[in-house]
Amino acid sequence: MTEALRLMAVHAHPDDESSKGSATMARYVDEGHPVMVVTCTGGERGDILNPRLKGNADIARDLPQVRRAEMAKAREILGVEQTWLGFVDSGLPEGDPLPPLPEGCFALEPLEITTEALVRAIREFRPHVITTYDENGGYPHPDHIMTHDVTVAAFEAAGDAEAFPHAGAPWQPLKLYYDRGFSKAKMVAFHEALVEEGRESPYAEWLKHREDRPEGRVTTRVECSKYFPVREQALLAHATQIDPDGSFFALSPADQARIWPTEEFDVARSFVPVADDEDDLFAGLPTDVARADAMAATGALGAPVVDDVKQRVTQEAHHG
């Protein structure tokens, strides 16, 4: 490639970036591509999920700051940049009837407010590709669903000069992906591998709960098994949220690499053609004006997109 392409991953809470697509991010960082994690909330309403730390009064007393420190450690392990959008965790209300969301939380913020915040981050970092969750949030947490809504809206608004004019110069990312890291097929493969070895599988219960849910589409499989140990260390950095004896660690990084060496995504928006066997989030992106012109000549790109690519290549040159 003739330029370092940029990836932005938009997540709801600190720890989501390490459990979803982190090996892919680590691979791109290693290959010289800037990667930015956007964390929409501070995880203020989270609980201590690691059984080894439950009952620790010092952690419970200042959990938001502890989670920020954990995020800083995970960021260093992955080698990514990271920014906070600054919204407040919505929590996960449970009960029957379902209690209302707390006032002032992320999921209840007006979409134009949350979208402008992310548009500002996009225009500052200028990513070529963005990843986030699907319309179900990956799972139906209100913050995950809001993260989807905000990201789709910001992807569409960031390149529009008339949208949020005070949030920076327009910048249009070219591809948007949904994370598919917890596919049923992957969990079945992990479960069967453990059963074949005569080991207890933590995935049986997970699969039971998912049996009636449709499997999300996968368009893109990124080979990143070399970075599974990095992913594991980033997960463990979120000590309050990750049980080191839990399902994430039922198989070693080497076992996971042997059974399932990729992370999966579904392309939701793209201004460039997507191959049936795509294996790279940056696949198909023109990297200079000459490439864009060549694609236009073959009809692979429409003229407006080519003009946009040219404009951004020029901007990149001016920005060094």
Q: Which residues are annotated as a binding site for Zn(2+)?
A: 13, 16, 144
Contact in structure between 280 and 129 (CB atoms under 8 Å): no
DSSP 165-195: GGG-S----SEEEEE-TT-HHHHHHHHHHHH
| Angle formed at CA 185 by CA 143 and CA 217, multiple of 5 degrees | 60
Please tell me the distance from the alpha carbon of residue 188 to that of residue 88, in angstroms, as a whole number.
35
Which element (helix H / strand E) includes 87? strand 81-87
Specify burial of residue 218 (Cβ count, 10 A radius: 0-12, 13-18, 19+). Answer: middle
Q: In this structure, are residues 241 and 52 in contact, taking their beta carbons and an 8 Å threshold?
A: no
Query: What angle, 0 to 180 degrees and rounded to 10, lies between the N-to-C axes of helices 303-318 and 289-297?
Result: 170
Assign 132 to helix, strand or coil: strand
Q: Are 38 and 121 in contact (CB under 8 A)?
A: yes
Closest CA to 238 of 24, 90, 19: 19
Annotated binding site: 13, 16, 144
The DSSP secondary structure of 8-44, one letter per residue, reads EEEESSTTHHHHSSHHHHHHHHHTT--EEEEEEE--T
Radius of gyration of the CA atoms of the chain, in A? 20
* Strand arrangement, sheet containing 220-223: 81-87, 35-41, 7-11, 129-132, 175-179, 262-270, 220-223
